[in-house]
Amino acid sequence: MRVVVREWERVLVYRDGGFERELDPGAHQVRRWRRRVVRVTIRPQQVVVPLQEVVTGDGLQVRVSLAAVTRVAAPRTWHEAVEGPEGFVYTALQVALREAVTSRTLEELLAERAQVPDELLPAVAASAAGVGMAVDAAVLRDVVVPAEVRRAATDLATARAQGLAALERARSEVAATRALANAAKLVDAHPGLLQLRTLQAVEAGGATVVLSADPSGRRVGSQAGEVG
């Protein structure tokens, strides 16, 4: 018989129940007598581990999910080793995900979210290879934190923002005080600067100036107040 093998599959030929050969893509002539063929799809497929409730290293319960890309790497092993090889890979991914979460605190899990899948691949490689499969990629889809933990994180972020704002206000007040102190020192060292500043206010028309005389007979300018 003529057997056509497509690019995304491999064909296993069995004679009297025993493995005879594996057919690569292309057209092949196979004797029908006492033979059976099995088609195995080798295209990558996605495996999703739905939300799992796991306790982190610091005792907090989170829900995590995982998505992985798997494929058949050894068609004969995939067909002969176990019944339902995809289930074995799913279990290996599930166990590896739980171990990765339990070995971290919640803060470490959130900070190292992108690194967790990289640790999973070597952990499941041997199990996948044992059933003729390979895991090419994985991604941590969701990390669901309990509501009370989210509220606590929000309160902490708010407190930090308020603390930073208070610190900035204090810095501004200190800077203003320093500026006033420097101005006072400058006026003490150069009294004429105050008179110049008074004249500037008169020219600008933004203040009322009252001139008085000190005991020595000199006129002294003082800024009485703003006028509209």
| Residue 74 pLDDT | 95
Q: Where are the domains of the chain?
A: 2-41, 45-145, 148-189, 191-228
Q: State pTM to two decimals.
A: 0.63
| Three-state secondary structure of the chain | CEEEECCCEEEEEEECCEEEEEECCEEEECCCCCEEEEEEECCCEEEEEEEEEEECCCCCEEEEEEEEEEEECCHHHHHHCCCCHHHHHHHHHHHHHHHHHHCCCHHHHHHCCCCHHHHHHHHHHHHHHHCCEEEEEEEEEEEECCHHHHHHHHHHHHHHHHHHHHHHHHHHHHHHHHHHHHHHHHHHHCCHHHHHHHHHHHHHCCEEEEEEECCCCCEEEEEEEECC
Q: Which fold has domain 45-145?
A: Tetrahydropterin Synthase; Chain A (3.30.479)
Half-sphere CA count of 220, side-chain side, radius 13 A: 9
In tens digits, what is the pLDDT along the chain, a chain of 228 residues?
Answer: 889 999 999 999 999 989 999 999 999 988 888 999 999 999 999 999 999 899 888 888 899 999 999 999 999 999 999 999 999 999 999 999 999 999 998 888 888 888 888 889 998 999 999 999 999 999 999 888 876 655 555 555 566 666 776 777 777 777 778 777 777 777 677 776 666 666 666 666 655 656 555 555 444 444 444 444
Rounded distance between C-alpha atoms, residue 140 and residue 68, angstroms: 9
